Amino acid sequence: MRQCIELAKRGEGAVSPNPLVGCIVLDAAGNKISEGRHEKYGGNHAECNALQGVEAQGGTLIVNLEPCSHHGKTPPCTDLIIEKGIKRVVIGMRDPNPLVNGVKQLREAGIEVIEGVLEHECRRLNEVFVVNKTENRIFVAIKTAATLDGKTATANGSSKWITSESARAEVRNIRKRYDAIMTTSATVLADDPEMEHKTKIILDRNSRLSGNEKIFQQGAHLVRGEGGITLLNELYELGIMSVLIEAGGRFNGEMLESTDKIYHFIAPKITGDNSAKSCFDFRKITDINDSLNFQIDSVKHFGPDILLEYYPK
Ligand code: AOF
Ligand code: ZN
Residue 193 DSSP SS3: coil
Domain ranges in the chain with CATH number 3.40.140.10: 2-133
Residues with a CB atom less than 6 Å from ligand 1: 18-19, 21, 38, 45-46, 65, 68, 72-74, 95, 97, 100
Domain covering 137-187+228-312 in this structure, CATH number: 3.40.430.10
**Nearest protein CA to atom 2 of ligand 1, as residue:** 45
Contacts with 290 (C-beta within 8 Å, 6 or more apart), sequence order: none
- Ranges of H-type helices in the chain: 2-9, 46-51, 77-83, 102-108, 119-125, 127-135, 165-176, 185-191, 214-217, 228-237, 249-255
**Ligand 1 pocket mutation pick from 15, 66, 68 by most atoms within 8 angstroms of CB:** 68
Select from 18, 24, 64, 93 the residue to mutate for testing ligand 1; criterion: most ligand atoms less than 8 Å from CB.
18
Query: pTM here?
Result: 0.95
Ligand 2 centroid from CA 102, angstroms: 9
Strand order in the sheet with 112-114: 32-37, 22-26, 60-65, 88-93, 112-114
**Which pLDDT tens digits describe the chain residue by residue (313 residues)?**
999 999 999 999 999 999 999 999 999 999 999 999 999 999 999 999 999 999 999 999 999 999 999 999 999 999 999 999 999 999 999 999 999 999 999 999 999 999 999 999 999 999 999 999 999 999 999 999 999 999 987 777 677 789 999 999 999 999 999 999 999 999 999 888 888 898 999 999 989 999 889 999 888 888 887 778 889 999 999 999 999 999 999 999 999 999 999 999 999 999 888 888 889 998 889 999 999 999 999 999 999 999 999 999 9
Q: How far are the Cα atoms of 19, 21, 55, 162, 280 from residue 12, in angstroms, in the given order? A: 9, 10, 29, 27, 28
- Superfamily name and number for 2-133: Cytidine Deaminase, domain 2 (3.40.140.10)
Which residue owns the Cα nearest ligand 1 atom 10? 72
Cβ–Cβ < 8 Å for 296, 310:
yes
